[in-house]
């Protein structure tokens, strides 16, 4: 018997927004019936391009139902850009926690959201092609998928990997390979930490400015855009888009995939960039 919070029990027993949105603007599917869990998420936008309706259909356990219900509540009232910032950790926090063995249910919610947003932007169904070598044949998890989960959630054991993405939860023959991937990631992260000297706040700000000037600004200016450094608070960096970037529909992608990734590579993996 799992120990669920009152909020998880509430969303399981009284799920919100069950069903499918009629003529949705976004429609995404995640999971697989073969693996025991599946989730379809649909949403519709209002005249202000904010999500006014979000519904789900799921096949899964109490945690899957509660996570899906919570996600729809979190989505309503948000823009697409705000919605794609929602993480599976925030879904868990919204519910007041989930048993560690059920974390994968919140991950499935995040994946369904990504698929629905992709469908909204392209009109196509997101094809989650296998990327890398399949390590866990029971659940179809690849080495790159496992490595991504280890990095994002700072996992340190095969058991935690199973809790997060199910890999290793079947026959168990892939456990040694999963442990090898964990060891590789931990070793790489340790090397990064040791190779980068600790910076004072003044040194960090100067390095951020130099990185933006040298590696970020030229990319943005090619498309008529630019950005300004607004503030730096520890590892929290605030920037302001100007020019063509202000109205660019993929500015949130640029923020993470260009600005944040460049600063993380040059300064620290803990850097978080937000637009003002």
**Catalytic positions, please?**
35, 105
Q: Are 95 and 11 in contact (CB under 8 A)?
A: yes
In the block, tokens 């923020």 appear at 255
> In 110-244, at which residue ranges do the beta strands (DSSP E only) sit?
134-136, 141-142, 225-233, 236-243
In our burial notation (b when 16+ CB lie closer than 10 A, e otherwise), range 132-161 reads eeebbebbbbbbebbbebbeebebeebebb
Cα 219 to chain centroid distance, Å, stands at: 24
Cα 114 to chain centroid distance, Å, stands at: 8
Task: Report residue 154 as tokens.
Answer: 């700072």
187 contact partners, CB below 8 Å, separation of at least 6: none
* HSE-CB of 193 using CA atoms within 13 angstroms: 7
Write out the DSSP string of 3-48.
Answer: ---HHHHHHHHS-SSBS--SS-SEEEEEEEGGGTEEEEEEEEE-TT
**Residue among 57, 70, 56, 55 nearest 102 (CA):** 70
Q: Over the Cα atoms of the chain, what is R_g? A: 20
């Amino acid at each position: 018997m799992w120990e669920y919070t009152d909020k998880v029990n509430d969303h399981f027993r009284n799920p919100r927004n069950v069903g499918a949105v009629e003529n949705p603007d976004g429609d995404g599917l995640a999971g697989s019936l073969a693996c025991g869990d599946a989730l379809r998420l649909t949403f519709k936008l209002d005249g202000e391009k904010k999500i006014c309706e979000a519904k789900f259909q799921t096949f899964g356990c109490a945690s899957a139902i509660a996570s899906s219900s919570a996600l729809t509540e979190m989505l309503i009232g948000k823009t697409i850009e705000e919605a794609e910032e929602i993480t599976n950790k925030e879904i868990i926090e919204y519910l007041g926690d989930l048993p560690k063995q059920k974390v994968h249910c919140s991950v499935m919610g995040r994946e369904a959201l990504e698929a629905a947003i992709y469908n909204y932007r392209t009109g196509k169904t997101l094809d989650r092609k296998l990327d890398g070598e399949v390590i866990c044949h029971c659940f179809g998890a690849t080495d790159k998928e496992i490595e991504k989960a280890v990095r994002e959630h700072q996992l340190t054991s095969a058991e935690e990997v199973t809790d997060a993405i199910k890999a290793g939860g079947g026959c168990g023959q892939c456990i040694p390979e999963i442990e090898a991937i964990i060891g590789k990631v931990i070793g790489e992260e340790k090397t990064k930490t040791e190779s980068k000297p600790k910076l004072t706040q003044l040194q960090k700000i100067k390095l951020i400015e130099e990185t933006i000037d040298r590696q970020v600004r030229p990319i943005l200016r090619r498309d008529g855009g630019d950005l300004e450094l607004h503030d730096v608070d520890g590892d929290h960096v605030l920037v302001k888009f100007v020019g063509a970037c202000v109205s660019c529909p993929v500015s949130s992608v640029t923020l993470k995939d260009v600005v944040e990734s460049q600063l993380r590579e040059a300064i620290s993996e803990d850097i978080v960039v937000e637009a003002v």
